[in-house]
Amino acid sequence: MSPSEISTWPIPSTTSTVASPIAPRCPTVMAPSTQQRRFSQASANTKQRAQMLIAKALETRVNGINPDECDAGSEDAFFVADLGDVYRQHMRWKVNLPRIEPFYAVKCNGDPKVLELLASLGTGFDCASKAEIEQVLGMGIDPQRIIYANPCKTPSYVRWVAESGVRMLTFDNAEELYKIKRFYPTAQCVLRISTDDSKALCRLSLKYGCPLDDTAKLLALAKELELDVIGVSFHVGSGSEDPSAFITAVEDARTVFDQAAEIGFEFNLLDVGGGYGTHNFEEIAGGLGPAVDKNFPPSVRVIAEPGRYYVATAFTLATHIIARRTVQDEMKGDLPSYMLYQNDGVYGNFSNIIFDHQNPVAKVLKDQNGFYYNSQPENTRLTEYSIWGPTCDGIDCITKSCYLPAVLDDGDWLYYTDMGAYSKCSATKFNGFSNDHDTVYVVSEPGAKALLDM
């Protein structure tokens, strides 16, 4: 963006008595457009089909396993992933934030089919390590569709990235600038600024982001080192619950753009980061989109780094009950409770309990009397359970207390929805248990099916 554009942007108000429609902490709720209403209706129409496909995949897999005769490990936990859900989320993004290009955060879930679909849909990719960049490049993705969005990088990785063709990378401190100058002086650098992420599920500004008080000084150093700084990025924290945080961050980015122009840079990129949930996405978009348009002219490219937004609801996890222990409490009379032990826990795909502050909810999938996806056993009293993972560590607990409408035992199955984000990506092999669980794919959207040739 040229200095002349900066002098005429943001667009000045035509009146002095009418308050701005985009107040920093009171985002205007925009009425749904015709396109948004049509998308919402079409999405609702396909969800029933999606549930049928997921149910069939779960039932087929579970019914094909006889725990009394199967090979050891055949009854391991497994995922069912609806790639149609990922497709719908992308269409939802395009309807609500048409100007902003999504760069999927690979760290959230590097499932190869998810990446293949998103690549076919034209997204970019936010990568934080050499391994993530290699995975994306290995799919034949143009390096220009990748941003190396880790402000503090391993020096050898910077050297490697310089040879890989990936040009965009982030920084937030002087030491990182000297590193880039030494190992990749032709990189396209993006300054990450700190934000208010106090209402986010996972706060990030405690670790990354240049304070606004230091941005001018850091940009002056970049100019002195003759580095190519092209724009600003921010991240309001993963799973943000505060839509106004995006608006405030956009306004802060505007300030840094102005500082850069005074120093002699011509910024042309704004990266509005991640933090997009599924339950409040329209509220976030209703504030973020207008804030971007108000503060930045069309010549500025705007990208984002959504992760959980794309995959959280697309993955369902099925677990096998491997043991049960009766707990008799005199205070509860003749009603025992039980400790259930399943074959996946916090060292596996339930790592999201520890690292992502999630609270997965168990539901009965199958017991001796039937299969219950999207329904539950009838005519049974609620029974109290605690649910535990398979390792020998006492912290390997899914929930200390829950009530399920059945008396479950070895060989029965549970399932958990919304397990696509920060689950299998942080699973370990602690105690020798596998961190590589099968994924059964279904596709509830014809558009996704055509792109994947499935």
User: Which residue in the block uniquely carries the two structure tokens 């030491």?
Assistant: 175
User: Which residue in the block uniquely carries the two structure tokens 């009394």?
Assistant: 68
Residues 427/435, Cβ–Cβ less than 8 Å: yes
Q: 89 Cβ partners below 8 Å, 6+ apart?
A: 278, 309, 310, 313, 314
Cα separation, 280 vs 242, in Å, equals 9
Half-sphere CA count of 332, side-chain side, radius 13 A: 9
Q: Is 201 helix (H, G, I), strand (E, B) or coil?
A: strand
Residues 229/222, Cβ–Cβ less than 8 Å: yes
Cα separation, 413 vs 254, in Å, equals 52
- Give the C-alpha distances (Å, rounded to integers) separating 233 from 67, 100, 192: 51, 13, 5
Cα separation, 89 vs 314, in Å, equals 9
- Pairing, β 146-148 against β 168-171: parallel
CA 73 to chain centre: 30
Angle between helical axes of 83-96 and 112-120 (0-180°, round to 10): 40
**DSSP letters along 226-269, please?**
T-EEEEEE----EEE--HHHHHHHHHHHHHHHHHHHHHT----E
Angle between helical axes of 212-224 and 174-183 (0-180°, round to 10): 30
- Taking the CA atoms of 51, 53, 56 and 59 in sequence, report the sign of the dihedral they define: negative
**Diameter of the chain by CA atoms?**
80
Q: Is 189 a catalytic residue?
A: no
Given 108, 392, 402, 425, which residue is catalytic? 392
Catalytic residues: 392
